[in-house]
Amino acid sequence: MATSRLAQHLPSLFGPSRRAAWRLSLVRRGLSACALLLALHLTLGATRPAVVERPPPPRDEGAALALPLAAPAGHLSPGDEVGIYLPGRAEPLVRRAQVLGVSSETGDTPVVRLTLDEEQVGEILREMAPERGLGNGFVVVRGG
């Protein structure tokens, strides 16, 4: 029987007997099983998606408005930074508003609550005036 390095370093455990050869085979199998488990653990750790950071809590400064929406806003969550658009326009009315909350879709028109700078409130209110004829509501886009 060929000797191994383990047998050379620990002759009393892994010497030339049959029982020692059996112990040596158990140790080799255990080491290979540990190596496979370590490789699996490292592979799963490398492919696991990155931890998503929660958005910062909504800011308390500025004015809070509830706006009617032209489309459902189920993709928005509190703390998201959004841009407010009118349907059919490419430029936003307001940039960097922050979502406080989104109403449930049980009513006729979905509503979103936002905080924005006080200087920007006038532009929103002008578009909501009856003579402007705001049809369906505003469009809110995340990151806009």
Tens of pLDDT along 74-108?
788 888 889 988 888 888 888 888 888 887 665 67
| DSSP-assigned letters across all residues of 41-94 | HHHHHHHSPPPPPPPPPPP-SSEEEEEEBSS--TT--TT-EEEEE-TT-SS-SE
Q: What confidence category does residue 123 fall into, taking pLDDT thresholds of 50, 70 and 90?
A: confident
pLDDT for position 110? 84
Q: Who has greater pLDDT, 22 or 15?
A: 22
Tell me: pLDDT of 1 over 60: no
pLDDT category of residue 40 using cuts at 50, 70 and 90: very high
| Residue 66, pLDDT score | 86
Average pLDDT in the 19-29 region? 86
